[in-house]
Each structure stands twice: as structure tokens, then as C-alpha cells.
Amino acid sequence: MSLSHPDLWSVVNKQFKYKWMSYKSVFQGLMIAQIIAMVFSLFGVASSSMGFGFIDLNIQYITGDFVFFFTCLWAFFISVALDRNENRLADQIFVTNSWSRHLANVVFIVIANMIGTITVVTASFFVKMIHIWIFGIDGFIFFGEYTLPGMLIFFIITFFYLILFSSLGYLIGSIMRQGKLIKFGVVLFVGGPLIFTDNSYLIPLFQFFGDESSVIWFILKILLTSMLAIGLTTLVSRRLEVQ
């Protein structure tokens, strides 16, 4: 019987299709996260009240910020779980090696995040629409101006933030799978401070990405960080046996 000599990219392509068939819950998770976020958003992200003598002005900001934030969490957690043991076992039944697996995972993350981005943008509008349906137009509504370049930037920024959260999740997931003790350490030293401190140490990190005024630099920073995270992941999980 003659041997087949598969090339890496054809296997990556097949593995991506396989993952697309087998990770349906990822998109159910996205729907649930965004529905919860939309419910929160309906009550307004922020509001301010002002009084001018006999006039009271109450301004409520309806935005998709909650949806964005929840989708970032979704991107992070699906990526933590993407390369988990069960999934590696399921990969291993068919044709795979660690390169093709990581590459297929990256392709999956990119496509899933594209879908995530589209739904973040549409959900942001949806929230505003629902707000009008429920509460009616009983006041003045000021819409932000939506221009095509502005929307494009909204798409790009959202997408690359999701990529950033995903790649960090992918790295953290792979580190956690190195052993029970390491998993405990990650939870203790990463999860602990996030919950029990004011997280002021994260400010420079957010500033590094968030204060970037050039879109090109922003994209480059995120791409470099993500590539670094995924590179580290392949290194960390290099000798991992599936058991």
C-alpha cells in the first residue's frame, strides 16, 4: 500500500474544517455572552443628570461597551479551552501533528473572532434599537455620527482586541496544562490579583494598547504580542503527550 505524503497546509485546512464542525458550542457561547451583555446594556452604560433651574436634564449613554467587554471575555475563555486535552484527543484520532494543530487553532481563532467582531458591531446597534422599542422616543436622541471610515476603524479595533485576548488566553491555557501545580500557580498568581486587588498594575498594559492613536501601530503592537504569545504556546506544549 503506497504511503501518502500530506503537506502541512492541506492538513491545516482539513483540521480547521474539522474544528468548525466540532466546536459548535463556541458560537453558542458567543450568543449567550452577547445576549447577557445586551440585557445589561439596555439599562445604560453610564448616565448623568443635570439641573438647570426648573429643567432637569438626564443623559443616558447607550453603547455596545458591555457587548464588547463580554465578547473579549468570550474570546479569552474559548482560547484557554481550545487546546485542552479532550480536543487534542479528538484531533489525534485523525491526521495531525503539533504544528498543524496550533495553526488550525489559530485559523479557527481568527475566523471565530471575525464572527465575534461582526456580532459586536451589529449588537451595539441592536441595543440602541431595542432601547427605542422598549422605552420609546420620549426624549431627544442624539446619535453619534457613523461614517464609513469610522465604522471600519471600529471593526478593526474590535477585531484586534479580540485577537489579543484570544492569544493571551491560548498561552495561559497551554501553561496551565503543564501540570496541576502550574495550573494552581496560574490561578493563584494571575486570577488572585485580578479579583483581590485594584488592578492598578494593569494600567500601563492597557495604556500600551489603548492610548495608541495610530491604527497601524495599534495593529502592529497587537500582532507582535499575539505572535509572541502563540510562539510561546507552541514552545511550551512542544513535548506534550496526549493522555
Partner 1 sequence: MSIVSCQHLDKKYKKQYALKDLTIELEENRIIGLIGRNGAGKTTLLKTLAGQIVPTGGEVKVFGENPFNNLKLSANTIYVDDQMQFSLEMRIHEILVAAEMFYENWNRELADRLIYYFGVDRYDFHDQLSKGMASTFNAILGLASRCPLTIFDEPTTGMDYSVRQDFYRALLKDYIAHPRTIIVSSHLLNELESILEEIVLIKNGKCILHESIEDFKEYAIGLSGDKNVIQSIVDHDVIIHEKELSESQVYIAVDNHLSEKDITGLKQQGVQMTSVEAADLSMFLTNDTRGGIDDVFKSS
List of residues contacting partner 1 (CB under 8 A): 1-6, 8, 11, 14, 17-18, 21-25, 86-87, 89-90, 92-100, 239, 241-242
Tell me whether residue 25 or residue 58 sits nearer to partner 1 (CB atom). 25
Cβ proximity to partner 1, 82 vs 121, nearer residue: 82
Tell me if 59 sits within 8 A of 47, measured CB to CB: yes
The CB-of-175 to partner 1 minimum distance in angstroms stands at 20
Residue 220: CB atoms within 10 Å: 13
Give the shortest CB-25-to-partner 1 separation in angstroms: 6
* Buried/exposed 144-176: b ≥16 CB within 10 Å, e otherwise: eeeeeeeeeebeebbbbbbbbbbbbbbbbbbbb
Cβ of residue 152: shortest distance to partner 1, in angstroms? 34
Count the Cβ atoms, other than its own, within 10 Å of residue 109.
Answer: 25
Helix axes 98-135, 8-22, angle to 10 degrees: 40
CB closer to partner 1 out of 10 and 199: 10
Is residue 5 classed as helix, strand or coil in its secondary structure?
A: coil
Q: Which residue has the cell 491526521?
A: 95
The minimum distance between CB 6 and partner 1, in angstroms, equals 4
Question: Minimum distance from CB of 106 to partner 1 (Å)?
Answer: 17
Region of residue 52 (left: phi > 0; alpha: psi -120 to 50; beta: else): beta
Closer Cβ to partner 1, 6 or 191, answer by number: 6
In the bound state with partner 1, the residue whose beta carbon lies nearer, of 92 and 207, is 92
